[in-house]
Amino acid sequence: MIRKTRLFTPGPTPLLPAAQFAMAAADIHHRTAEFRALYLRVLAQLKDFVGTTNDVILLSSSGTGAMEASVSNLTSPGDRVLVLAAGKFGERWSGIAKAFGCHVDVVSAPYGQTFSLDEVAASLHLETRAVFMQATETSTGVRHCVPAIAKLLKDTQSEALLIVDAITGLGTTHLDMDSWGVDVLVGGSQKAVMIPPGLSYLAISDRAWDRMEATYNPRYYFDLRKERKNARLGESAYTPAVSLIAALGAAFDWIAAQAATPENPAGSLVEGRKLLVENAETIAAMTRAAVQALGLKLFAPDAFAAAATAILAPEGVDSGIFVKELKSRFGVIITNGQGEMKGKLFRIAHLGFFDYMDTIALIGAIEQVVVKSLPQLGAKFGDGLIAAQQLYADRSPTAAADNKCLCGRAKGHCSLTDSAAK
């Protein structure tokens, strides 16, 4: 058998061919009219993709660079900040904030779960200057309810800025930063926008821009105000990752074209983004149905994200068996658990350039591993596929909209708002 290598990892994700062609053709200098036209167009598209009227800033760095920029630009040494951490990426916020001299309060939740709203409320102090969280915690496959936290800050008239790492949340999760009152939303290129690593971006509210006038943590390369000044003229402060910016523009064109109609053949990026989210929701639900039908358990049975699904290995089995067998037998690259979750779970990504066909094939390959190597589960060929097929056939994303939390999760599956409703 030949094997094609296929990424099912939550970043980097599979590349969009149209973006790869645009990248290869992007032989342009960054201080030219040609680049300025490209940059201004991509920045405008980025606003539509994020779904905001706020200014957006594009940086040449991996996602963590934009996380760091939001700490260094929005805090001063000694500032009290609150980090909501329930996984490796939440813990990264604490690390960055401490590196910049913040006094860090932490609300944590066990891996695989989300926070208690009461605990968050109790940890919010008058002096809290900023709250940091993830929209989706990629290390555990959990979606946190951003609107519930935003509402809490509003209801308590908190001065704290809400800064959200939506690096795997964008393109997989309904996010409405302007109406919810999120101050900073962070994204990265190697996730749902289907291009290689190397770009990060931030959408920033007026309140956060105002805060930057008074904060004084050190910053130089990641000086957001300097970038904003340059971006308004179609330039970046330093040499940008030109080829990736060209790729991002092509990816946005493609996402928009997914929503093309006879009247509007170029489509709409706003509508295309909704389709991308719906796509991730659907294939995530197919994956959850399939692995459970095969006798496997979800790591986050209540708080699951559409960005990636974390699946527990059976008792006494190292989850590495899935990573190894899928790669050696089928060329499929998935990820193990991170840190202390390694060996306990494996993760399958749904963000970006995955479709029904990819998902069905992957479920088939997982069935091969389960039936051949884990006979104790008692699964047989077809169990996972039937469950996924049935889910796909029955799924009607719009019909269920009334019964959803603002974060997009079904009522009864969003513990943050469910606990608030009690």
The binding site for ligand PLP (CB under 6 A) comprises 10-11, 62-64, 89, 134, 138, 165, 167-168, 188
Q: Which helix (H) or strand (E) element contains residue 257?
A: helix 242-257
- What residues does 57 pair with on adjacent strands? 202
Specify the residue, 308 or 363, whose C-beta has the smaller distance to ligand PLP: 308
Give the separation between CA 53 and CA 42, rounded to whole angstroms: 14
Q: What sign results for the dihedral spanned by CA atoms 190, 194, 195, 196?
A: positive
Q: Which two tokens stand for residue 176?
A: 């409405």
Specify the residue, 62 or 292, whose C-beta has the smaller distance to ligand PLP: 62
Task: Determine contact, residues 156/121, Cβ cutoff 8 Å.
Answer: yes
Q: Min. distance of Cβ 285 from ligand PLP in angstroms?
A: 20
DSSP sequence for 43-64: HHHHHHHHT-SSEEEEESS-HH
Q: Min. distance of Cβ 127 from ligand PLP in angstroms?
A: 27
DSSP sequence for 146-194: HHHHHHHHHHTT---EEEEE-TTTTTTS---HHHHT-SEEEEETTSTT-
Specify the residue, 35 or 93, whose C-beta has the smaller distance to ligand PLP: 93
Using alpha carbons, list the distances in angstroms from residue 69 to 4, 98, 363, 392, 409.
38, 14, 39, 41, 30
Q: Min. distance of Cβ 361 from ligand PLP in angstroms?
A: 24
Classify 200 as helix, strand or coil. Answer: strand
The one-letter code for the residue type at 66 is: A
Specify the residue, 330 or 353, whose C-beta has the smaller distance to ligand PLP: 353
Q: Which two tokens stand for residue 323?
A: 């990573």
Q: Min. distance of Cβ 370 from ligand PLP in angstroms?
A: 27
Specify the residue, 11 or 384, whose C-beta has the smaller distance to ligand PLP: 11
Specify the residue, 168 or 173, whose C-beta has the smaller distance to ligand PLP: 168
Specify the residue, 63 or 240, whose C-beta has the smaller distance to ligand PLP: 63
Other residues' Cβ atoms within 10 Å of the Cβ of residue 309: 26
Give the separation between CA 356 and CA 132, rounded to whole angstroms: 34
Q: Min. distance of Cβ 93 from ligand PLP in angstroms?
A: 9
Give the separation between CA 255 and CA 193, rounded to whole angstroms: 9
Q: Which helix (H) or strand (E) element contains residue 272?
A: helix 269-293
Specify the residue, 62 or 217, whose C-beta has the smaller distance to ligand PLP: 62
Give the separation between CA 7 and CA 328, rounded to whole angstroms: 13
Classify residue 314 by burial, with Cβ atoms within 10 Å: 0-12, 13-18, 19+: middle
Q: Min. distance of Cβ 308 from ligand PLP in angstroms?
A: 8
Q: Min. distance of Cβ 394 from ligand PLP in angstroms?
A: 30
Q: Min. distance of Cβ 167 from ligand PLP in angstroms?
A: 4
Q: Min. distance of Cβ 136 from ligand PLP in angstroms?
A: 6
Give the separation between CA 123 and CA 106, rounded to whole angstroms: 8
Q: Min. distance of Cβ 351 from ligand PLP in angstroms?
A: 9
Report the residue closest to ligand PLP, judged by CB: 63
Give the separation between CA 197 and CA 202, rounded to whole angstroms: 15
Specify the residue, 11 or 408, whose C-beta has the smaller distance to ligand PLP: 11
Q: Min. distance of Cβ 287 from ligand PLP in angstroms?
A: 17
Give the separation between CA 38 and CA 230, rounded to whole angstroms: 14
Specify the residue, 186 or 369, whose C-beta has the smaller distance to ligand PLP: 186
Specify the residue, 123 or 338, whose C-beta has the smaller distance to ligand PLP: 338
